Amino acid sequence: MNSSRSELVNKAFTKKAIPLEMPSGLPSDYFGDLVFDRTKMHKYLDADSLQAFLDCIDNGIPLDRKTADAVAAGMKKWALEHGVTHVTHWFQPLTDGTAEKHDSLIDYDRKGGVIETFDGKSLIQQEPDASSFPNGGIRATFEARGYTAWDPTSPVFIQDDTLCIPTVFVSYTGEALDYKTPLKKALKAVSDAALPICRIFDPKVNKVYSYLGWEQEYFLVDEDLYAARPDLMITGRTLMGHASSKNQQLDDHYFGAIPTRVAAFMRELEVAGHKLGIPIKTRHNEVAPNQFELAPIYGEANLANDQNQMVMNLMNTIARKHGFVVLFHEKPFEGINGSGKHNNWSLGTDTGTQLLAPGKDAMGNLQFITFFVNVLAAVQKHNALLKASIASATNAHRLGANEAPPAIVSAFLGRTMTEVLRKLLEVPSDTPIEIAGKKGQSVGLVEIPELFVDNTDRNRTSPFAFTGNRFEFRAVGSSANCAGAVTTISAAVAEQLIDFKLALDKELASGKNVNVAIMDVLKPIIASIIDVICFDGNGYSEEWRREAARRGLDVETRVPEMIKTFSNPASVEMFTKTGVYSLSELEARNEVKWEIYCKKVQIEARVMGRMALNHIIPAALDYKKVLLDNIAGSKEVFPEDYAVVAAFEIETVKKISECVSELQKKVEDMTEARKRANVLENAYAKAMAYHDIAESLFSIRKPLDKLEEMVDNKLWPLPKYRELLFIS
């Protein structure tokens, strides 16, 4: 091992956990300290301003300028008490990250000095440069005007010395340039579509909420070893590296004792999250070495999505304090599990009813079945679109592998619910749907077991699984913004509910009983989905791929082709019908996705080529020279038998020469392919060309990994998998 690599590894192994000075009291004592929540509102706002602000949050009633000024004054007073000196509009551009421009609170006081100021105008709106963010051609470079506008439903929070105001980000002409704007539109669309159906069962319902519970998987690597890997630093994943002799095959890391340094990082992260009102609840080791997971308590989707973005930012910052770097890449290491971000999604009413959980009586169960079936119908109709919503250059490495959902969207129901749906097709439409055990076993009942949540098994190969009172969209990537997936599923369900209500109204107009009318509309839907989107088997098998294609499900695996689904007629109709995206916004997002795909693959190709030529081949040639010197020495001592004496060296030199020649040729071919791709002007064509380049990287990797096995360990320039994955 060369001295620099040896020193890095030794340094990494000897690092100690940083002790955390825990805040006094329990988490409940400091939870939300840095959030302008309802408790702070009551303290810092007068009664009239408070009521107007709450009406804005709860009922969507706009704030007038006078009230906005009063709210800003209350926020300012609270912020100054926490040492805040700056303010920023915090938004989520189409980069899968967050953005912020900090402005000082100071302004001239007209007396030769400055004073801290913050008013309603500064709270509600700012004007950042819109041309330098991905926009798909909506804004030209010379048309830089864009606006951030406050989202009152997302609490303002403090990060370090800055007051952060969650906002939407739109162009001068009104198109969405972010994730939050379409998310909020989709959440409103599904609420509006679900509300009239809910009122059939409970006239008191006034609003339907979407809920999101994200599970964030990630890797931690030592920052010194990370710095010695150009591929990790620049692309977020290793582009080469032979598998460690031991990785995850013993399953000994999963749910194991959390390493001391990692536990210290997790504790600090939880404290920081709790102060920001993020209900981080679960932490554990994941399956792969140095892979971990955290998850919060379930929450309202818009807020939960903001909190996921906040947590990812916190993780990046806090990990560095503990000598780690967080890897959110979906597949940072070949041969072991990648990282996802499971999105647990459900619907509920403002009266407390969970729409995707069985009810307390026959009507409650009918309501559950109504929403359950319509969600499945939406997933079936837009299965390709749902896959497109989570498709990316990075997630492509994970989807379809044997530790992740396949690149075919199907729904796992479990035996219980599959049997319930089949029985509903057989019985008369007026048959009550009851919970077994709550009433006597009457003839003709369709029964749902009382212990429902425990009656559904798990299928780890299903991308969209029902887990008792929610659906778990398991195909979302670790680095993704959850809003992309949640927007799509919400809009698709909204469209389906609109269509269902229209069909139901026709049945009711014919004089049918409401229960019978509902089932008469549901039965054809159930019949159309039960043997198409519903699949409880092995999603990784080749047999399923063939069966899925026969069923009419999308089996596309090329990311650029998946992205095209956003501009398909059915997708355009659904998004425009629900008011989530305009046609121009969809076309722009396609352009953005293709552009980002190209750039990520382009960067990986450049890094791999340069590492091959500047790191690996020189190390291989150095070792080849050592072997050649050994062969020459053997020839001097054993002139007649040197070929036998130095047989290993001779054979290894041949293998190294073959690998180096193969590597050089493949890098040259890849470079030429990149040049040809770069001159293509059509975004889709360019992305498809870069898809072929991405596939070629797997081929280039083979001789690289062979060389790692052959070259003397002392001469290998990069930290190896066994070092990256087992130091924590």
CA distance 383 to 410: 7
Q: Which residue has the tokens 């989707």?
A: 301
pLDDT at 228: 95
pTM above 0.95, yes or no: no
User: Three-state SS for 128?
Assistant: coil
pLDDT at 384: 97
Which DSSP letter does residue 615 get?
I
Segment among 214-223, 357-366, 487-496 with least mean pLDDT: 357-366
Asked whether the predicted pLDDT for residue 454 surpasses 60, the reply is no
For residues 63-80, give the mean pLDDT.
94
Cβ–Cβ under 8 Å, residues 166 and 77: no
For residues 699-728, give the mean pLDDT.
94
Q: Which residue has the tokens 């129901």?
A: 413
Reported as half-sphere exposure (CB side, CA atoms, 13 A), residue 6 has a value of 6
* CA-CA-CA-CA torsion sign (215, 216, 219, 224): negative
For residues 74-84, give the mean pLDDT.
96
* Vertex 576 angle, CA 572 and 581, to 5°: 90
Asked whether the predicted pLDDT for residue 445 surpasses 70, the reply is no
Percent pLDDT > 90 in the chain is 77
Contacts of 5 (CB under 8 A, 6+ apart): 228, 716, 717, 718, 719
| Alpha carbon distances (Å) from 293 to 211, 265, 288 | 20, 13, 11
Can you give the three-state secondary structure of 430-472, one letter per residue? Answer: CCCEEEECCECCCCCCEEECCCCHHHCCCCCCCCEEECCCCEE
pLDDT digits (tens, 9 = 90+) for 174-192: 899 999 999 999 999 999 9
Contacts of 111 (CB under 8 A, 6+ apart): none
CA distance 606 to 231: 10
pLDDT digits (tens, 9 = 90+) for 509-547: 999 999 999 999 999 999 999 999 999 988 888 899 999
Cβ–Cβ under 8 Å, residues 364 and 223: no
CA distance 653 to 648: 9
pLDDT digits (tens, 9 = 90+) for 631-646: 999 999 999 898 999 9
Contacts of 544 (CB under 8 A, 6+ apart): 406, 408, 535, 537, 538
